[in-house]
Structure 1
Amino acid sequence: MTQSEIMHLIQRGQKLLASGQSREAYSIGLAAVANSPDSTDSHLLVAIAAQQLKKLEIAFDSITKVIKLNPNIELAHVVRANISSQLNSVKTTVELCKNSIQYFPNNSQIWFQLSQSEYKLNNHASADTAFKKHLVLSASSPVLGEALKQFFKQDFLSSEKAVRQHLNKHPNDVSALRLLGEIALNLGVFDDAQRLFEKALSLAPKYSLARLNYAHVLTKRERNKEALKQIQLLEKQQPNHPPILTIKAATLVKLGRYKESISLYQELLEAQPNQPELWASLGHTYKTTGEKQKCVSAYLNALKFNPDYGDAYWSLANLKTYEFNEEQVTQMHQSYARCHQHQNENLAQICFALAKALESKKKIDESFSYYQIGNQIKSELEPYDRKELEQLVQRSKAYFNREKISAISTLKHSKPHKTTPIFIVGLPRSGSTLLEQILATHSQVDGTKELADIVSLARKLGNRKKKQDNDEYPQSIAKLTEREKWLLGQEYINSSAHLRNDAPYFIDKMPNNFQHIGLIKTILPNAKIIDARRNPVASGFSCYKQLFATGQNFSYDLKNIQHYYQHYLLQMEFWQSCFPDDIITIQYENVIHQTEQQIRKLLEFLNLNFEVNCLDFYKNERAVATASAEQVRQPINTKGLDAWQPYQHHLSILLSI
């Protein structure tokens, strides 16, 4: 064959390939190779046709020949990575992708294939880096690419500015809509994030990353049943994909489906046994279900695969009943030395765990120094704005005047909701979990957990798009009709249905809800409020020693704890004057010393008969998802009452309250 005849043959094969006639294209490709063994186009035609026909070994050999003949053909590198991935040659795929990147560092498809393969090898950090590179390179414009770069640097304001600039010209760019949604998600503006992900998915229903983000924001808004539906859709697109199964397991925990979650984590760990994050997640689930030995074993496995894994150290310390041995304390010191230059969450976790271990060994001053370091890191990561609470207290006092309180009182019996919530509020670490466990043992009361619904509703009513915007809450409540108020109350009740049974009462123990009692009584006029109090030095220092998951940024500085506590007292004094019949103050120390008397007092306030089971609350096998989970599974004791006293020479700020 002449050169022109061979080119004509290849062109004919390419047309057949484009029209889906892979078998015919493959035959023509073989004929072209036979007549021109050094033709890259011939081998490329065979490779692509063979790949489509699932003749993967032949396809791989052919594409390898193309690259040997001419390593500068970009398409060949992309095809080689895809074929290698299909052959499940994961390590080979990583090596080939890295080789290809030397030739084509800006090819987003090769970076994507590298990220997928690194993930399969459990190299999560490398996979994450490669995927970020893929996203930046696949951006539809330089402006959007810059927005992604700023996002990965966590400069959300710069990223938002750039992505909005891009959306002004391209309002239906699904990648930009998704990125703007992820920025909103990181800033805690969950309703905006949800709306943006929904718009992106309406334009591109198969956009799996947007759907994964959508599931995430739904879990943040405690809309976990809806989140699970989105995850199930993702599973159809990508069966057995570990990141999807991981978020599924976490969502099942939120739905209270602990056995299913544990089973799924175990399944994931069979495939990826060296993943410390998965071991920690399994440990968290065992902690919630009260399976202490399995919980400890899971955390220790996490440390086995990452000796510097702060979450596992802190999780062991946070059991409150686990004792670190000398070898583990030495290991934590070594981890601190290796990680101390990175002022991040992981280092904070190591510091808090080390401080707890040293406290158990009576090394008080050294212990306090690590509490200080950990708290300093956290206070920088999660700054506390004193003005926000001060201004909220002022706005609440201004809005909830006699007229508003009177209107709430008239609604109290007009159309009551079928279930009555009991809100346990106050400073964290003030005995709220103990009170919940006691009440949840009563036949007429269901326990749930710390529900974020009221805080989320208050944020929504605040209508702040940016941090510098004025907060319209609680004044914006005035815009609601009586029907809308009732429906908001019903929506709140419905949102927790999956966490409880059919008892006439249920508990929400989110401590921060003390800020929103006016809102609570507006949408749930029959709600009961329990103000859990404890010696302010004891509760304040216990907060300082506690590394919270989220939402308690006041707790990482002793002066901020003092400020927060003082304004909590001011707020509760005001609410007591507004709703004297519906708020009771229970002192933790009294519950410890006069348990039955205090339980009777509490049940009388709730119009419930005394049940002796409430005295045996520690036998209740319900799931508990807070820091005190292990403590409330033990009988009443006085162990923690004076835990602050060895540190009193460091606590002059709290002692001055």
Structure 2
Amino acid sequence: MPKKEPTDKILTRAKKAANAGDFQAAVTAFGQVLARFPSNKRALQGMAALRATALPQLQAAAQQAQEERRWPDAEAQLRAACLLAPDQADMGFALAACLMEQRKAPAALAAVQTILKKMPDHPQALNIQGAAQRLMGQGAAAKQSFTAALGDPATDVQSLNNLGISARAEGARTDAAEYYRRAIAADPANPALHLNLSQETTYSADTPHLQQMRDLLASKDRNSPAMAPLHFALFKAFDDLGDTDMAFAHLEKANTLAKANLQYDFQKDAIPCALSKVLLKEPMHSAEVATTQRPIFITGLPRTGTTLAEQILARSEGTRPCGELTVVQLAVVRLMREVMDRPQKALTQSDIDDLGAELRSGLAEYGDGAAVLIDKMPLNFRWIGFICAALPEARIVHMSRDPMAVAWSLYRQYFDSAGNGFVYDPSDIARFMALHRDLMTHWRNCYPDRIFDLSYEALVSDPETTTRALAAATGLDWSENWLTPEKASHLVLTASARQIRKPIYRDSNDQWARYEAQLAPMRAALVAAGLI
């Protein structure tokens, strides 16, 4: 165990930081002392002296970081602000919201429950509590939190929408649709609500919601980026009706507006992948450690069947399906930034060992004591080398699927996360898919025995043979339950929530053929990238 830094040294560091105007570092250091010695006079005086000047600057720095979507920086500033003013609930609420933006559900839950101890009926805090509980798989508790939040006109739309999302995650489509309708009745001009309702509706020409959406679009600027979700919803409606021309017109408009809203830059995806290859040019390994929980990571491009694979593995006793976690991404990105700030820009064995400890600790917060935890974050393919190096006990499943089917499935989907910004343009999709292909070639060369490649086509055409191979690769016991993934009862928060409640079916790869003429540019982009 590393030796603790002497208190005098920490206090000296805190004073220097305060004098230099680095209030976040100063408050954090004083807080470090007070965590060990709550009555330390110098630390208490230091905090008191900072409170008047530092708090406004910490708040301003946090706000700027939030506006620029620099969530880790915002978190650091807000944590310091909460240490400085623990009695101000708005600081704790802002921290909880920032943690949820990063999908740090356990930390967000702890932050918001501090507020709820003092203000148990705070509707916004209850909504954050419910969202965190839902990410942690606590469906009943989440529903209870959202229901408790109802009754405040300022937040009822948010609460109803959250109840709809939770019902959808449980497979209760009728309930989800009713919650969304109630939310729309309170906020009829909200495009996101209409998109949510569209996912739970099978449209006919006389479905009232179709006309409601058309009327809303006619009353607004159809070219506003804010209208992107409504165009996606209208695509869904006209696709149900079989009007492919009208459907695709709305889909193109939806994607154009969504991309404009995000201002997607491909280099923000390319640079971390290139850096990963540089830092792990050669394989590194961490020693085996005694652990009560081992993880299985399901990776690949989004929309390649990662949710189906998770559902199948979840049918094995002793597993805990956790959905799409950000534990690995946050830890690896932090490590890469730390390494690039050093004079010697290279990973050390200590880095890898520390990363393993950080990942085990972070994953355990979601594992609920299960022997096997499943993380199905697709984009973890970017960090496979780090996982292999830091977690020798981990098993890694990599999904593959027909490129045209993947590209179409991405293009037709509206994603909440800015991390999927590449999906709104055929050329960006092709470039990202090529980036994925090249990085996976590198990881397979580094760790040839650690990655199990699972074909979606093989999985749906020969489920028994393929799932038996999956069982062997993941170290789980196969049973006939693996052939009925639709019976898994955990929450599903991904875009596949509706499809995954059906038995395994084979025809999803052909859905793009209905739009074959309109998708000629997409196919050309995939051909040019050497993907088909």
Equivalent-residue separation in structure 1 for 2:387 and 2:407 (angstroms) = 26
Deviations 1:196-219 (A, max 9, x none): 112222322222221211122233
Deviations 1:471-518 (A, max 9, x none): 939998835443x53343233233233533444322111111111111
> Is 1:648 aligned with 2:516?
yes
Given the superposition, is the C-alpha separation of residues 199 and 292 from structure 1 closer, same or farther in structure 2, using an over 3 Å criterion?
same
Given the superposition, is the C-alpha separation of residues 525 and 185 from structure 1 closer, same or farther in structure 2, using an over 3 Å criterion?
farther
Deviation of the 1:344 alpha carbon: 3.3
Equivalent-residue separation in structure 2 for 1:436 and 1:477 (angstroms) = 36
* Equivalent residue for 1:433, pick from 303, 307, 312: 307
Given the superposition, is the C-alpha separation of residues 479 and 638 from structure 1 closer, same or farther in structure 2, using an over 3 Å criterion?
closer
Given the superposition, is the C-alpha separation of residues 614 and 307 from structure 1 closer, same or farther in structure 2, using an over 3 Å criterion?
same
Amino acid at match of 1:364: T
Amino acid at match of 1:261: A
Aligned ranges 1:302-341 → 2 under 5 Å: 302-319=183-200, 322-323=202-203, 325-340=206-221
Whether the 8 Å CA contact 1:562–1:653 is kept in 2: the answer is: no
User: In the alignment, which residue of structure 2 is the partner of 1:418?
Assistant: 292
Aligned ranges 1:171-570 → 2 under 5 Å: 172-272=53-153, 275-319=156-200, 322-323=202-203, 325-340=206-221, 343-345=224-226, 347-402=227-282, 405=283, 407-408=284-285, 411=286, 414-415=288-289, 417-463=291-337, 472=340, 478-482=346-350, 484-550=351-417, 551-570=419-438
User: In the alignment, which residue of structure 2 is the partner of 1:580?
Assistant: 448
Deviation of the 1:638 alpha carbon: 2.5
Amino acid at match of 2:460: I
Deviation of the 1:557 alpha carbon: 0.5
Given the superposition, is the C-alpha separation of residues 481 and 587 from structure 1 closer, same or farther in structure 2, using an over 3 Å criterion?
closer
Deviation of the 1:236 alpha carbon: 4.5
Given the superposition, is the C-alpha separation of residues 477 and 225 from structure 1 closer, same or farther in structure 2, using an over 3 Å criterion?
farther
Deviation of the 1:424 alpha carbon: 1.2
Deviation of the 1:284 alpha carbon: 0.5
Amino acid at match of 1:381: N
Whether the 8 Å CA contact 1:222–1:495 is kept in 2: the answer is: no
Given the superposition, is the C-alpha separation of residues 234 and 533 from structure 1 closer, same or farther in structure 2, using an over 3 Å criterion?
same
Deviation of the 1:587 alpha carbon: 1.5
Given the superposition, is the C-alpha separation of residues 230 and 212 from structure 1 closer, same or farther in structure 2, using an over 3 Å criterion?
same
Q: Helix, strand or coil for the counterpart of 1:641? A: helix
Q: CA RMSD in A?
A: 2.7
Deviation of the 1:430 alpha carbon: 0.9
Given the superposition, is the C-alpha separation of residues 234 and 609 from structure 1 closer, same or farther in structure 2, using an over 3 Å criterion?
closer
Amino acid at match of 1:536: P
Equivalent-residue separation in structure 1 for 2:145 and 2:243 (angstroms) = 41
* Equivalent residue for 2:472, pick from 596, 604, 612: 604
Q: Helix, strand or coil for the counterpart of 2:150? A: helix
Q: Helix, strand or coil for the counterpart of 1:172? A: helix
Amino acid at match of 1:549: D
User: In the alignment, which residue of structure 2 is the partner of 1:123?
Assistant: none
Deviation of the 1:266 alpha carbon: 2.1
User: In the alignment, which residue of structure 2 is the partner of 1:78?
Assistant: none
Equivalent-residue separation in structure 2 for 1:495 and 1:637 (angstroms) = 35
Equivalent-residue separation in structure 2 for 1:187 and 1:613 (angstroms) = 46
Number of residue pairs the alignment of both structures matches: 474
Amino acid at match of 2:90: L
Q: Helix, strand or coil for the counterpart of 1:424? A: strand
Amino acid at match of 1:245: L
Equivalent-residue separation in structure 1 for 2:265 and 2:493 (angstroms) = 27
Amino acid at match of 2:440: M
User: In the alignment, which residue of structure 2 is the partner of 1:614?
Assistant: 482
Q: Helix, strand or coil for the counterpart of 2:87? A: coil
Amino acid at match of 1:552: N
Indicate the percent of aligned positions where both proteins have the same amino acid: 26
Equivalent-residue separation in structure 1 for 2:341 and 2:414 (angstroms) = 29
Give structure 2 stretches of 5+ with no counterpart.
1-49, 527-532
Highest Rg: 1 or 2? 1
Equivalent-residue separation in structure 2 for 1:371 and 1:417 (angstroms) = 48
Equivalent-residue separation in structure 2 for 1:382 and 1:299 (angstroms) = 25
Deviations 1:165-189 (A, max 9, x none): xxxx999331221121132234343
Given the superposition, is the C-alpha separation of residues 475 and 443 from structure 1 closer, same or farther in structure 2, using an over 3 Å criterion?
farther
Equivalent-residue separation in structure 1 for 2:258 and 2:344 (angstroms) = 33
Equivalent-residue separation in structure 1 for 2:130 and 2:305 (angstroms) = 30
Whether the 8 Å CA contact 2:160–2:179 is kept in 1: the answer is: yes
Equivalent-residue separation in structure 1 for 2:326 and 2:318 (angstroms) = 23
Whether the 8 Å CA contact 2:123–2:155 is kept in 1: the answer is: no
Deviations 1:65-102 (A, max 9, x none): xxxxxxxxxxxxxxxxxxxxxxxxxxxxxxxxxxxxxx
TM-score (norm 2): 0.82
Deviation of the 1:385 alpha carbon: 2.0
Equivalent-residue separation in structure 2 for 1:240 and 1:604 (angstroms) = 49
TM-score (norm 1): 0.67
Equivalent-residue separation in structure 2 for 1:642 and 1:592 (angstroms) = 13
Whether the 8 Å CA contact 2:213–2:230 is kept in 1: the answer is: yes
Amino acid at match of 1:561: I
Whether the 8 Å CA contact 1:443–1:503 is kept in 2: the answer is: no
Equivalent-residue separation in structure 2 for 1:302 and 1:373 (angstroms) = 25
Equivalent-residue separation in structure 2 for 1:563 and 1:225 (angstroms) = 35
User: In the alignment, which residue of structure 1 is the partner of 2:3?
Assistant: none
Whether the 8 Å CA contact 1:375–1:556 is kept in 2: the answer is: yes
Aligned ranges 1:90-169 → 2 under 5 Å: none
